Structure 1
Amino acid sequence: MNANSTSEIQKLVSAEEWQLRVDLAACYRLVALYGWSDLVFTHISARVPGPEHHFLINPYGLMFDEITASSLVKVDQQCNKIIDSPYPVNPAGFVIHSAVHAAREDIQCVLHTHTRAGIAVSAQKNGVLPISQQSTFVLASLAYHDYEGVAFRDDEKPRLQADMGNANFLMLRNHGLLTCGKTIADAFLSMYTFENTCQIQIAAQAGGGELTHVDPRIIDGVGQAMKVQSGGLGGMFVWPSLIRKLDRIDDSYKQ
C-alpha cells in the first residue's frame, strides 16, 4: 500500500500520532520560515508514543516548507520504513537522531541545524560565550561533541551519547547545533534561543570591542528564571502563537 494522502495516513495512525505529525510538520515549516534550513540537508525527528520506538522524520529531498503531516515518514530505530511511502529517507542523516533518542527516553523531539551563525560558533575553540541573556539559558544545559566527519557511522553513537549526557543543547563542533525536548515545542524554543545566542555572539565579536561576561552565578539560577518567563509551560508558552503565525501564512502543513 502506498499511503501518502492525508486520508490514507489518518486511517493508519492514531489520533495522537496524527497530532504529532501536524506539530512536526509545523516545526519544519517554522524552521524554514526563520531561515534555519540548509536546503534539504538537516532533520527534525519525533518519537511516536508507544513502546515500539518508532519515529517520524522528513521525506529526504523535500524542502522544509513543502513538508506536510502526511508526507512525514515513519521509521524504526534502523530507519526502516514502518508505513510505505513514496518518499526516500536518509539513514545517514538519522544516525545522530537515533543516537540521541536511544540514550534519552525523556525526550520526544531532536532538532538539528546547519546555520551560518551556529557553525561559526561551533568552530570557535571556546564555543558559546556567556555574553548575553540568551547565552545563559544555553550554558545552563550545554554539551559539546567533536567533529568526526559526516555522521553516517554507527560507531560514533556511543561517543555522541556520552558527550551529550543529560544536556538539552548540543554543539556539534565544526558542524552545527542540536536541541532536544520533551515536546516539539520545547525543542523549537530551545533552538530559537540557541540560534539567537550564536547570532548575537558573532555580531558582538564583529564589533571588535572587549566583551563582558555574565556572572556565573546568574547561569546557575537560570532554570528558575526560565520557568518564571514561560509560566512553567516551556515551549508550549509560545507554540500556540507560532501556530497562529504559520496558519496566517500557509496552513498546508496540516494536510
Structure 2
Amino acid sequence: MPDGALEQTVSRMRRDLAAAYRLIALFGMDDGIYTHISARMPDGPGGEKRFLLNPYGLRFDEVTAANLVTVDETGAVIDDPYGAGVNAAGFTIHSAVHMARHDAACVLHTHTVAGVAVSSVREGVLPLNQWSAQFHNRIAFHDYEGIALNLEERARIIADLGEKQVMLLRNHGTLILGRSVAEAVKLAINLERSCKAQVAALSMGLTPVVLSDEVAEHTARQYQSAYDKQEERGGRDPEWDAYLRQLETAAPGYQG
C-alpha cells in the first residue's frame, strides 16, 4: 500500500475507533473505564501486528483519535500519545479474537445492564422483534469463568465463538466482531436495542409473541445481505455517516 494511502487508512481508522468509543458512551453503553473496543491496523513495516486501543483510565467520552494507543498482539505498547499505557489484561481477549479471526477489523466488548441481564438467562436473545430477529441463530455463548484474567480461557472463548460475529458472555456481557468499526458499532447498538426491548416486553407480565423460526431466519438473512453489501462496497456508509454527524453535535472534539 502506498504511503499516502496507508496514512489515509490509518487516519480514518483512528477517527472511526474514536467515534465508536464516543457513540458507545453517548448511548449509555459504557462502563466507566472498563471494557474495550479494539481495531486492527495494517501490519507494521516489519510485518508486526498492530492494534488501536483506548488509553488506560480514560472514560469512553474522553477518547479521541489522537490519544488512541497502538499496541502489538500481546498488548505491549508501540505508540502512546497520551502516556497512560493500556489495560493489557483487558486486551487479552481482544488480541486472541483478532489473531484467530482475521475478518475481525474491530472487536467490541460491553457490560450494559440490558446486555448483562439477557446474558444471564438461559434463553439469551429471543426473536421478539425486527431488531432481535437479525441475530436469530447467529449468537455464540461462552460460560462465565470469573474475571477474564486467565490466559487459558482465551482458547475456550475462540472455540465457543466459532465463525459467529456476536457472542453472549454468560453472566458477563457481550462481545461483537465487525469487519469494520462501523459494522461492529451498528451490531452493538442493535443488540443493545434487542436486549432492552426484550427486558421491557417480558417485564409487562403479558404473553410475548415470539417470531417463528422461518420469519426470524428470513429477517436475519435480510440484515446479513444488507451488511454484506455495505462491506463489499466499502466507501460511503449512510448510517455510519449519520452517526458521525450526530457526534459532530454531541462530541465535536472526538477527531482531535
Q: TM-score, normalised by structure 2?
A: 0.90
Paired AA for residue 16 in structure 1:
T
Contact map agreement 1:146 1:172 (CA 8 A) in 2: yes
Contact map agreement 1:37 1:64 (CA 8 A) in 2: yes
Greater Cα offset, 19-28 or 210-219: 210-219
Please identify runs of 4+ aligned residues in structure 1 that moved more than 4 A.
227-231
What's the counterpart of residue 19 of structure 1?
12
Structure 1 position 66 matched with structure 2 position 62: yes
What's the counterpart of residue 3 of structure 2?
none
What's the counterpart of residue 82 of structure 1?
78
In 2, distance between residues paired with 1:148 and 1:212?
33
SS of match in other structure, 1:128 = coil
CA RMSD, Structure 1 to Structure 2 (Å) = 1.8
- Residues 232, 118 of structure 1: CA spacing in aligned structure 2 closer, same or farther, 3 A cutoff? same
Name structure 1 gaps, 5 residues minimum. Answer: 1-12
Greater Cα offset, 92-101 or 71-80: 92-101
What's the counterpart of residue 198 of structure 2?
201
In 1, distance between residues paired with 2:30 and 2:141?
21
Contact map agreement 1:99 1:157 (CA 8 A) in 2: yes
Shift of 1:53: 1.9
What's the counterpart of residue 22 of structure 2?
29
Encode CA deviations 1:90-115: one digit per residue, 9 max, x unaligned. 11111221121111101100111100
- Match of residue 46, structure 1, among 39, 42, 45: 39
In 2, distance between residues paired with 1:109 and 1:236?
16
SS of match in other structure, 1:180 = strand
Encode CA deviations 1:130-180: one digit per residue, 9 max, x unaligned. 211111111242101110111112100110001001111110000001111
SS of match in other structure, 1:170 = strand
SS of match in other structure, 2:12 = helix
In 2, distance between residues paired with 1:237 and 1:204?
30
In 1, distance between residues paired with 2:198 and 2:80?
44
Paired AA for residue 250 in structure 1:
A
What's the counterpart of residue 138 of structure 1?
135
Contact map agreement 2:112 2:173 (CA 8 A) in 1: yes
- Residues 223, 52 of structure 1: CA spacing in aligned structure 2 closer, same or farther, 3 A cutoff? farther
SS of match in other structure, 2:177 = strand
Greater Cα offset, 221-230 or 16-25: 221-230
- Residues 63, 224 of structure 1: CA spacing in aligned structure 2 closer, same or farther, 3 A cutoff? same
Structure 1 position 56 matched with structure 2 position 49: no
In 2, distance between residues paired with 1:183 and 1:152?
27
Contact map agreement 1:227 1:233 (CA 8 A) in 2: no
In 1, distance between residues paired with 2:228 and 2:52?
29
Structure 1 position 251 matched with structure 2 position 252: yes
Encode CA deviations 1:196-227: one digit per residue, 9 max, x unaligned. 11001100110011212111012322344125
In 2, distance between residues paired with 1:200 and 1:147?
24
Structure 1 position 232 matched with structure 2 position 226: no
Encode CA deviations 1:77-129: one digit per residue, 9 max, x unaligned. 11000114411211111122112111110110011110000000111011111
Q: TM-score, normalised by structure 1?
A: 0.90
Aligned residue pairs, count: 243
Paired AA for residue 38 in structure 1:
D
In 2, distance between residues paired with 1:216 and 1:237?
30
What's the counterpart of residue 164 of structure 2?
167
Name structure 2 gaps, 5 residues minimum. Answer: 1-5
- Residues 226, 83 of structure 1: CA spacing in aligned structure 2 closer, same or farther, 3 A cutoff? same
- Residues 227, 164 of structure 1: CA spacing in aligned structure 2 closer, same or farther, 3 A cutoff? closer
- Residues 84, 191 of structure 1: CA spacing in aligned structure 2 closer, same or farther, 3 A cutoff? closer
1:105-184 mapped onto 2 (5 Å cutoff): 105-184=102-181
Seq. identity, %: 42
Encode CA deviations 1:3-52: one digit per residue, 9 max, x unaligned. xxxxxxxxxx8332121111100110111100001011110000002242
Contact map agreement 2:136 2:217 (CA 8 A) in 1: no
